[in-house]
C-alpha cells in the first residue's frame, strides 16, 4: 500500500508542474508537420519510447485492437496457451510449452506461482518528451480490484525515471481462495550528452500471497452435477482451509557502459562508423518461497510437527565485465566474462535413518560469453552464446536468429536454441515438515539439455504461421508414486517426488493465426496443433487448441468513440491435464483422468475515447448451460460466468 501512495503522490507533483498547453488531443501529430501561425508543435505518440535491457525499442500504442483485448488481463499477456484457475492471480495450467530459457542457471522455482514475477528482461524502461502516466484498472472475482499504475518522465533529455506499482486482491468465489500480489518497480536510464556513457538501472520488489484450499474433495457430486444447492461456490467442500503460499523477491540491477572509441563516418556527420565500449552489469536478488499450514493433513502425508512452516531461500549475485566492438560494415560483437554467486538454503538440517539431507547449496559459477548482431540489407542476424567454465550448475547457452523481410510484406524468421543446465533448485534439494517432501538429488540428477529449432512466417495477407520442434534430454518433472488405493483415499499428493526421464522427449508445436475482415466485421482465428514423442507420458499437452473471435467495429457518437464488440470461442481437446500441488507450488503429471473438450465463450464490448480504452466482458457466459465439466486442473474448476470491467488510461502532460 505504501508503494501505491508514493506513486500517486509523485504523479500528482509531476503532472501539475507541467506545461498546461500540452494536451491529449495534440498527441499523434507527426514530427516535421507545418504549423499554423501561433500553433505549438506537440510530440507524437511515436516519441514516447519503451524498451527493455535487450534494446528492443517500441513506442507507446494507444490503439484499440483485438490483440489488446487478449492482453487485457492480470498478466497483461495473451493467454492463448494458458488455462487459469477460478480466481485471478492463481496458477494457470499450460496448454502449450516453451522450454527456451534466458538464463543458464537454475531458478528457485515454485513455477506455478511465478507467472507474475518479472525477470530482468521483462522490466521496461522509457524515454519520453513529456511526463507519461498509464493507469490500468480491472475488477476481480469478489471483494478486490486490480490496479497497474506507471509514471515516467525525463528529468532532462539524457535522464529518464519511472515508477510503477501493480497490485491486486481478490477473495475468489470458492472457500479459502483469496489471492493478492504487489509489484513495485523503479527504473532509470541515462545517456551522456556526448553519447559515450549509457546506464540502465532498476529496483524491483515483488510479492504474492495465495490461500491454498487443496481443491474440491467431492467435485463429481457437488460441482459436476450442477446441483442448485452448490451454485453458490463457497458451499463446496475443499480439502483444507488453513494453508498459505507466499513468494517474495527483491532485486537491484545495473547495466552501464562507456565508449572508449567513437569514430564518426567523416568530419561532417555524427553518424557512428566504429566504436569500442567497455561495460559492467550487476544484479543482486533475494527471493524466498514459503508454505504455511496450521495442522497436519493426510492430504500431504505424515509430518514431523503439527504446524508446517516450509521456507526456501535463494540469494544470487551476478557480475559481468564486457567489451563491445561496433562497426557499420562488420556488425556488433560483444564478449564478456560473468561471475555468478548463489546461496540456496533452508534454516534446518534433516537427519533421517537413511542419511542426512543438506540444508544448503552454495557456490560460484564462472562463464564466458559472446553476442553478435548485423543488418545486411533485408537480413537481420542475431546470436549469443555462453559457456560455464567453472561451477556445477551451469552448462552452456546458444541462441541464433535470422530474419528476412521480403518487399516489406513478408517476414521470415528462423531461430535456434540450445541450453544445458541443472534442474531448478527445488528439484535438487527440498526440505519440508511433511516427511515425504524431503530429498536431495545433487548427485543423481544430471543437467537437462534442450535443443529447439523454430520457423515463423508472417504477413498481413496470409497471417502468421510458426513451427517449433524441441528435443529434451533428462527432462525433469514431478509425479506421484501413490498406488491406486492411496489415490482413492485422497493421498495422491502425499507421494509427490521429482523425477528425471532417461529417454529423450520430442515436442512439436504448430501455430497459425489469421484475421479475416468483412467491412466492419472481422473474424480472428488462432489454431495450435501439438504432438509429443516420448517413451513414457511425462509431457502432456492437448492435441488441438483453438480460439476464434467474431467482432464488430465502428466509430459511434459522431466519431467521439471507437467501439468493438464481439464473442470469443476457445476450446482444447481432452488430455491428461497436469495436477497442482500447493505445498510445492508446482504442477505434476497425472494419468488418472482426462480433462478438457469443453467450450468457453466470452462476450465483450470495448470502447476507445481519445487515449482511454474501456473494457467490459461477460466471461464464460455459457458455463450454466454447456455442462459443469470445466476444470483448470484436477479438482480445480475454471471460473463460472462473471461480468468484469475496467480501463486503460494514458495521461500526457
The string of pLDDT tens digits covering residues 136-184 is 999 999 889 999 999 999 999 999 999 999 999 999 999 999 999 999 9
pLDDT 10s digits, 221-254 = 999 999 999 999 999 999 999 999 999 999 999 9
pLDDT of residue 349: 80
Report field, pTM of the whole predicted structure over 0.85: yes
- List the helix and strand counts (H, then E) for the chain: 5, 37
CB distance 106 to 188 below 8 Å: no
pLDDT of residue 32: 44
Whether residue 412 is predicted with pLDDT greater than 50 in this model: the reply is: yes
The reported pLDDT for the residue numbered 356 is 81
In angstroms, rounded to a whole number, what is the distance separating the alpha carbons of residues 581 and 218? 17
> 213, 238 in Cβ contact below 8 A?
yes
CB 19 within 8 A of CB 43: no
pLDDT of amino acid 377: 87
Q: What percent of the chain has pLDDT over 70?
A: 92
Structural domain containing residue 269: 2-652
Q: Which three cell numbers stand for residue 273?
A: 562508423
Contact 213, 233 (CB under 8 A): no
pLDDT above 80 (res 532)? yes
* pLDDT of amino acid 37: 59
Domain count, the chain: 1
d(CA 480, CA 494): 8
Confidence of residue 40 (pLDDT cuts 50, 70, 90): low
The rounded distance, in Å, linking the Cα atoms of 440 and 427 is 8
- Give dist(CA 280, CA 237) in Å, integer: 55
CB contact at 8 A, 236 and 174: yes
Whole-number pLDDT of residue 283? 98
pLDDT band at 36 (very low <50, low <70, confident <90, very high): low
Report the CATH number that the domain containing residue 478 is assigned in CATH: 2.40.170.20
**Hey, CA dihedral for 263, 267, 271, 273, is it positive or negative?**
negative
pLDDT tens, residue by residue, 85-127: 999 999 999 999 999 998 999 999 889 999 999 999 999 999 9
Question: 268 pLDDT exceeds 70?
Answer: no
Region of poorest pLDDT, from 200-204, 269-273, 530-534: 269-273
Q: What's the pLDDT band for 408 if we cut at 50, 70, 90? A: confident
The pLDDT assigned to 6 comes to: 42
Q: What is the pLDDT of residue 271?
A: 53
Report DSSP letters for 144-155, one per residue: -EEEEEEEEEES
Q: Greater confidence, 455 or 328? A: 455
Categorize the per-residue pLDDT at 19 as very low, low, confident or very high, splitting at 50, 70 and 90.
very low
Amino acid at each position: 500500500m505504501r508503494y501505491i501512495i508514493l506513486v500517486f503522490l509523485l504523479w500528482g507533483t509531476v503532472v501539475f508542474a507541467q506545461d498546461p498547453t500540452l494536451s491529449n488531443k495534440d498527441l499523434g501529430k507527426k514530427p516535421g508537420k507545418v504549423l499554423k501561425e501561433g500553433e505549438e508543435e506537440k510530440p507524437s505518440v511515436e516519441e514516447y519510447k519503451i524498451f527493455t535491457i535487450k534494446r528492443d525499442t517500441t513506442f507507446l500504442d494507444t490503439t484499440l485492437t483485438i490483440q489488446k483485448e487478449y492482453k487485457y488481463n492480470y498478466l497483461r499477456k495473451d493467454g492463448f496457451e494458458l488455462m487459469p484457475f477460478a480466481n485471478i492471480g492463481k496458477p494457470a495450467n499450460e496448454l502449450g510449452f516453451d522450454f527456451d530459457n534466458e538464463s543458464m542457471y537454475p531458478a528457485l522455482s515454485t513455477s506455478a506461482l511465478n507467472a507474475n514475477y518479472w525477470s530482468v528482461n521483462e522490466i521496461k524502461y522509457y524515454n519520453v518528451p513529456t511526463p507519461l502516466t498509464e493507469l490500468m484498472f480491472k475488477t476481480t472475482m469478489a471483494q478486490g480490484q486490480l490496479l497497474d499504475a506507471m509514471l515516467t518522465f525525463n528529468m532532462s533529455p539524457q535522464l529518464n525515471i519511472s515508477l510503477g506499482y501493480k497490485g491486486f486482491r481478490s477473495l475468489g468465489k470458492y472457500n479459502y481462495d483469496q489471492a493478492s500480489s504487489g509489484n513495485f518497480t523503479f527504473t532509470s536510464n541515462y545517456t551522456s550528452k556526448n553519447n559515450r556513457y549509457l546506464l540502465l538501472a532498476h529496483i524491483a520488489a515483488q510479492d504474492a500471497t495465495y490461500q491454498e484450499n487443496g481443491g474440491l474433495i467431492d467435485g463429481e457430486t457437488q460441482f459436476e452435477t450442477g446441483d442448485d444447492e452448490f451454485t453458490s461456490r463457497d458451499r463446496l467442500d475443499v480439502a483444507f482451509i488453513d494453508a498459505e503460499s507466499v513468494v517474495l523477491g527483491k532485486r537491484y540491477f545495473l547495466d552501464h557502459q562507456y565508449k572508449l572509441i567513437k569514430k564518426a563516418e567523416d568530419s561532417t556527420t555524427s553518424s557512428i562508423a566504429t566504436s569500442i565500449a567497455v561495460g559492467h552489469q550487476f544484479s543482486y536478488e533475494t527471493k524466498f518461497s514459503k508454505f504455511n499450514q496450521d495442522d497436519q493433513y493426510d492430504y500431504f502425508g505424515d509430518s514431523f510437527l503439527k504446524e508446517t512452516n516450509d521456507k526456501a531461500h535463494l540469494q544470487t549475485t551476478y557480475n559481468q565485465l564486457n567489451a563491445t566492438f561496433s562497426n557499420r560494415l562488420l556488425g556488433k560483437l560483444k564478449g564478456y566474462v560473468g561471475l555468478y554467486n548463489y546461496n540456496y538454503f533452508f534454516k534446518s538440517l534433516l537427519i533421517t535413518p537413511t542419511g542426512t539431507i543438506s540444508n544448503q547449496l552454495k557456490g560460484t559459477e564462472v562463464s564466458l560469453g559472446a553476442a553478435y548482431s548485423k543488418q545486411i540489407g533485408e537480413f537481420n542476424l542475431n546470436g549469443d552464446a555462453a559457456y560455464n567454465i567453472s561451477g556445477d550448475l551451469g552448462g552452456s547457452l546458444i541462441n541464433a536468429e535470422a530474419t528476412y523481410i521480403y518487399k516489406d510484406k513478408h517476414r521470415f524468421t528462423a531461430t535456434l536454441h540450445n541450453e544445458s543446465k541443472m534442474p531448478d533448485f527445488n528439484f535438487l534439494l527440498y526440505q519440508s515438515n511433511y516427511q515425504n517432501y524431503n530429498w536431495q538429488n545433487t548427485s543423481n540428477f544430471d543437467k537437462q539439455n534442450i535443443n529447439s529449432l523454430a520457423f515463423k512466417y508472417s504477413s498481413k495477407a496470409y497471417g502468421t504461421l510458426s513451427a517449433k520442434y524441441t528435443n529434451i534430454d533428462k527432462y525433469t518433472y514431478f509425479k506421484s508414486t501413490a498406488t491406486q488405493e492411496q489415490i482413492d483415499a485422497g493421498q495422491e499428493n502425499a507421494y509427490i517426488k521429482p523425477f528425471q526421464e532417461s529417454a529423450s522427449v520430442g515436442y512439436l508445436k504448430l501455430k497459425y493465426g489469421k484475421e479475416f475482415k468483412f467491412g466492419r466485421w472481422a473474424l480472428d482465428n488462432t489454431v495450435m496443433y501439438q504432438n509429443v514423442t516420448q517413451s513414457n507420458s511425462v509431457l502432456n499437452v492437448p492435441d488441438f487448441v483453438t480460439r476464434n473471435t467474431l467482432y464488430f467495429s465502428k466509430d459511434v457518437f459522431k466519431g467521439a468513440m471507437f467501439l468493438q464488440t464481439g464473442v470469443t470461442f476457445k476450446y482444447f481437446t481432452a488430455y491428461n491435464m497436469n495436477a497442482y500441488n500447493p505445498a510445492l507450488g508446482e504442477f505434476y503429471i497425472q494419468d488418472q483422468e482426462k480433462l478438457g473438450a469443453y467450450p468457453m465463450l466470452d462476450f465483450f464490448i470495448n470502447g476507445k475515447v481519445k487515449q482511454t480504452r474501456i473494457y467490459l466482458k461477460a466471461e464464460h457466459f455459457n458455463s450454466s448451460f454447456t455442462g459443469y465439466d470445466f476444470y483448470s486442473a484436477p479438482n480445480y474448476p475454471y471460473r463460472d460466468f462473471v461480468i468484469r470491467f475496467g480501463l486503460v488510461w494514458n495521461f500526457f502532460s
